[in-house]
Amino acid sequence: MRKLGAENKTARYAMLIDLDRCNGCGACMVACAVENNVPPPQPSATPRTGLNWLRVFRLNTGGRDAFIPVMCMQCGDETPCQSVCPQKAVEFDPATGIVGQIPERCLGCRYCMAACPYQARVFNWWDPQWPAGMEQALNPRVSARQRGTVEKCNFCHGRWQAALEKAAQDGESGPVRYTPACAEACPAQAIRFGDLNDEEFAAECRDSGAFRLLESLGTGPKVFYRTSRAEVREATRGFGEVKRG
């Protein structure tokens, strides 16, 4: 299969989520937290103050409910969070198309949270704490973030880095292939991860049944959704109201 831009070493990683398959089990949320060393919520945490890089929302369609996993959309055009950060703690990586968050630079102003139309960023209100013994099972490839900083989904940067190292050892060049934790853990195989430079994957993302949240804002999100249910597509038009409710 011919790849678009195969002569380049850059990728445009993206997700395609089949809402007809998602059953709201939450396995993706658990896998995301474990992979990225997201600590368990504090007893006083609320849906607004807890740390969740990925959340699954229930869509009330007036009939059979649907579920929609929402994470950072990895905006590629006029990235809102990057444009407002005074510390350059947000960086768009042209080699991957991923919007990275650098906690060491973050001063906790939360301008990026206000700018994100998807409300996909979370703030650390507490120092990370794990039940006794759990700290020994943390992912050594992912640093724990401190209180007072913002964090978000980065398409499992630790896994990308591991794939990059393996490719270098094997003498391979070009964009690497890997699978984020959420896609790997989904029992319904509702989440697919790929490179938009891959013709076949890109064609599926451009399919008439595929769409992106708040696409009219022009942020160029790289998380695509697909459904055969017209009522689900209609329900996503009120995405902002769903999240605030």
3-state secondary structure 15-56: EEEECCCCCCCCHHHHHHHHHCCCCCCCCCCCCCCCCCCCEE
Report residue 188's pLDDT band, with 50, 70 and 90 as the boundaries.
Answer: very high
> Could you give the percent of the chain with pLDDT greater than 90?
77
If one counts every other C-beta atom within 10 angstroms of the C-beta of residue 188, the result is: 14
pLDDT for residue 63: 83
pTM score, whole prediction: 0.91
Region 21-31 average pLDDT: 97
Region 195-203 average pLDDT: 96
CB 210, CB 232: distance < 8 Å: no
pLDDT for residue 207: 87
- Is a pLDDT exceeding 80 seen at residue 242? no
The 10s digit of each residue's pLDDT in 45-84 is 998 888 999 999 999 888 889 999 999 999 998 899 999 9
Instruction: Tokens for 95, please give them.
Output: 């080699």
- Is a pLDDT exceeding 70 seen at residue 142? yes
Q: How far apart are CA 205 and CA 208, in angstroms?
A: 9
- Is a pLDDT exceeding 60 seen at residue 7? no
The 10s digit of each residue's pLDDT in 96-126 is 999 999 999 999 999 999 999 999 999 999 9
Task: List alpha helices for the chain, DSSP H.
Answer: 27-35, 80-84, 111-115, 157-169, 181-185, 199-205, 230-236, 239-244
- Is a pLDDT exceeding 60 seen at residue 172? yes
Q: How far apart are CA 176 and CA 130, in angstroms?
A: 33
In the chain, where the domains are located: 13-244
Region 39-46 average pLDDT: 90
Report residue 241's pLDDT band, with 50, 70 and 90 as the boundaries.
Answer: low
Could you say which of 3.20.20.70, 3.65.10.10, 3.30.70.20, 3.30.70.360 is the CATH number of the domain covering 13-244?
3.30.70.20
Burial class of 195 by CB neighbour count within 10 A (0 to 12, 13 to 18, 19+):
buried
